[in-house]
Amino acid sequence: MEKLRKAVNEIAYCKDLTKLSPLHRTLVPVLSFASALYSVALSLRCSLYQSGLIHRNRLAVPLISVGNLTWGGNGKTPMVEFLAFWLADSGISPLILSRGYAGGDETKMLQRHLLGRPVRIGVGANRAATASSFFEKYGYVDPSTVSERLWVGAKGPSHFGSEEI
């Protein structure tokens, strides 16, 4: 799987596709087709949200979302850990919500690293429901008492790689 990930990255960030190996060039049409399907799926999803057919859950507290539409290795978990330390040191008890992919390895690591800090970690596919259950169990903080700040971290000069794919 790691070889495939490297190959896709090489293709995505290649400025001149003619310089790719023959094997990598054979993957370009497959990846282009997959990219087109993904684009259609995202457009459909966006339309369903805009039309109200899919309900968007909003939490009653300030939210920092760490993530994007890329796979692992972009530093999302270390960023979550950094933010949790920073918030805890600032007197704010954050709740980390995770879907729990990969057997929960990342959440277990976060639990070990954040041990002794006022940080809660909720795992579940429905993060809004997970947050609600934590609010019921541990209490609710009025968001007007906490100043909200938005910070976006990005890796590298381009988020999407080659315009060809």
- pLDDT tens digits, 15-30: 888 888 888 888 899 9
Torsion of CA 113, 106, 42, 158, to 10 degrees: 60
- Reduced to 3 states (helix: H, G, I; strand: E, B; else coil), residue 109 is helix
Residue 149 buriedness (CB in 10 A; 0-12 / 13-18 / 19+): exposed
| Predicted TM-score of the model (pTM) | 0.59
Distance CA(42)–CA(27), nearest Å, equals: 22
pLDDT band at 102 (very low <50, low <70, confident <90, very high): low
Parse the chain into domains and list their residue ranges.
2-51, 76-139
Say if residue 140's pLDDT is above 70: no
CB burial of residue 88 (10 Å; 0-12, 13-18, 19+): middle
Predicted local confidence at residue 68, as pLDDT: 65
pLDDT digits (tens, 9 = 90+) for 152-161: 454 544 444 5
